[in-house]
Amino acid sequence: MTIAIVTGAARGIGAATAKRLATDGHAVAVLDLDEAAATATADAITAAGGLAVAIVADISDARSVQAAVDRVVAELGAPRILVNNAGVLRDNLLFKMTEDDWDTVMSVHLRGAFLMTRAVQAHMVDAGWGRIVNLSSTSALGNRGQANYAAAKAGIQGFTKTLAFELGRYGITANAIAPGFIQTDMTKGTAQRLGVSFEDLVHAQVSQIPVARAGVPDDIAAAVSFFCREEAGFVSGQVLYVAGGPKS
Ligand SMILES: NC(=O)c1ccc[n+]([C@@H]2O[C@H](COP(=O)([O-])OP(=O)(O)OC[C@H]3O[C@@H](n4cnc5c(N)ncnc54)[C@H](O)[C@@H]3O)[C@@H](O)[C@H]2O)c1
């Protein structure tokens, strides 16, 4: 059984990904800041016949990350799949964006992905096999009100391609998924910030999406599942836009 770590797996895209990887036959560490929700996700996997543990960690903190990875090794075994999914938004127009808004987004997305990958890669190198999937976004192409998030999500793409170069010789692939508009608590928060109903936000987004529907977490989980397969071993350093069209 392959051991997978999914960060930010308490809810949304991360929870759907953890459940999908468990269905694919992997043991899953459900890593998140939110203990209660992470436990609920792990319990749902266990109830469905899978193997999962909930682990509380702050991915932007090096000590917390190392302790979490050590716990995964002790409780499940050495991880060979890592999905860097945890994320936060601190949207604002540039002239109103605070240094804290900038630093928080960089810390969770970029520093978090770096710390997690650095802590896990040694186990993958030892095994001579690994799969790393990083969550980027269509916002990497630029998005009003998201100077911090767009920079972080573009950074994730460069990070991913560099991992592909450095780790390929050890049987490790690294790919990124760039979702478009996905219905989760994160996008519900966006509606709240904009002062519109979630239904109105979904409607406005769908009018711009070629397949004429909003994305759901399972759409992203399916793409993660593909990158983690044995047969995807010749696919590395790629960015897959999962956005219902070329871009949302
Ligand atoms: N929802 C979308 O439309 C969309 C689009 C493109 C990209 N994404 C990306 O997909 C990923 C998941 O998005 P989502 O919509 O499911 O978000 P979400 O807000 O619903 O869930 C994010 C999870 O990450 C956890 N988290 C946040 N900071 C953390 C930290 N420091 N340490 C550990 N866990 C932490 C949260 O507790 C939460 O459970 C994010 O990286 C997001 O940027 C989402």
Write the pLDDT tens digit of every residue in 139-157.
999 999 999 999 999 999 9
Rounded Cα distance between 179 and 212, Å, is 15
The set of residues, in sequence order, having a beta carbon less than 8 Å from that of 126 and lying 6+ positions away, is: 78
User: pLDDT tens, 28-74?
Assistant: 999 999 999 999 999 999 999 999 999 999 999 999 999 999 999 99
Whether residue 248 has pLDDT greater than 70: no
Task: Give the residue-averaged pLDDT of 94-108.
Answer: 98
Instruction: Quote the pLDDT of residue 122.
Output: 98
Ligand 1 atom 7, closest CA: 137
Convert the pLDDT of each residue in 116-137 to its tens digit.
999 999 999 999 999 999 999 9
The atom of ligand 1 lying closest to the CA of 86 is 24
CA distance 165 to 199: 42
- Band of pLDDT at residue 9, cut at 50, 70 and 90: very high
Average pLDDT over residues 86-99: 98
Active site residues: 149
Ligand 1: atom nearest CA of 38 is 39
Ligand 1 atom 9: residue of nearest CA: 135
Describe the strand order of the beta sheet including 3-7 as a list of residue ranges: 52-56, 27-32, 3-7, 79-84, 130-135, 172-179, 239-242
pLDDT-based confidence at residue 247 (cuts at 50, 70, 90): confident
> What mean pLDDT, rounded, does the chain reach?
98
What pLDDT score does 157 carry? 98
Helix (H) or strand (E) segment spanning residue 163: helix 147-167
